[in-house]
Amino acid sequence: MPSPFPGMDPFIESQRFDDFHYSFIMTVKDVLVPLVRPRYVVDAQRYVFLSEDQETEGMYAPDVSLSDSGSERRGTPPPHSVATLEPRLNAISMSDEAGQIFLTIRSGDEQQVVTVIEVLSPTNKTAGKGQREYLAKRANYLRTLANVVEIDLLRGGARLPMCRPLQEADYFAFVIRHGDPSNVEEYGWKLQDRLPVIPVPLREGEPDVGLDLQAAFDRSYDRSGYDYALNYKRPIAPPLPEEVQRWVEERLTEK
């Protein structure tokens, strides 16, 4: 049975988000593979190695990464404009001290990672060690030439720092092309909206592919059986504004 809501289900955040986080990431992979094969390989939670001046190494596990498979592209490329929302431009500040470190990024088999996709977890948005570690990981990604796509499907927690205030929205996606933190494409939408199609950049000069977040959500919701796993009688956390809560109750009554 489909979700009673047109977009994100607000009951998932407080009841099943750990399970949803994993399920959604794997579904994003399923959605992306037919869009980028055979030119690119899509890996879920595969370690990416970062080398600092060729002397020390650290490694990170992105939620999803796209790397060049070495195969020739076949077929007709998709159009450049794939997003269903108009982005706002934002920026991410980088400290001078950290910017002095030269980083290269590669996957374990030496294939170059082209794009990293991160789906934020509650730990990433909670002040403390977890958020500091994520911000360090994000900063290291941005000092490479990899594209970064960050998806925030959590209303709760602290938004990650940006240079300019975010638009009024419940959920966000951010697209940073080729490690350029000064030109961040900010996509925001409300709980009442369908999840958008967002662009996933590939190599420079190649057209984006469109990642349909609603299609990924619908498949994840159905595959995980959230229609019976979620308790729709429990309060929503974090609480909703009164008018949005009324909208939620109306949707549930209709179903």
For residue 192, which of 243, 147, 151, 232 has the smallest C-alpha distance?
243
pLDDT at 102: 30
Question: Which has the closest alpha carbon to 16: 223, 163, 197, 181?
Answer: 223
The one-digit pLDDT tens for each residue of the chain (255 residues) are 899 999 999 999 999 999 999 999 999 999 999 998 888 888 886 555 554 433 334 556 666 767 776 655 444 444 445 888 889 999 986 544 333 223 332 333 446 788 889 999 999 998 888 888 888 888 888 877 789 999 999 999 999 889 999 999 999 999 999 878 899 999 999 999 999 999 999 988 889 999 999 999 999 999 999 999 999 999 999 999 999 999 999 999 998
User: How many C-beta neighbours within 10 Å does residue 193 have?
Assistant: 16
pLDDT at 139: 84
Q: How many other C-beta atoms lie within 10 A of the C-beta of residue 170? A: 19
Residue 80: the pLDDT is 46
State residue 96 phi and psi, 5-degree precision. Answer: -60, -40
Please report the pLDDT score of residue 59 as a whole number.
58
- Tokens 């060049």 belong to residue: 68
Query: What six digits make up the tokens of 173?
Result: 């996606």
pLDDT of res. 69: 63
pLDDT for residue 6: 97
The angle, 0 to 180 degrees and rounded to 10, between the axes of the packed helices 213-224 and 17-36 is 130
| Model pLDDT, residue 114 | 86
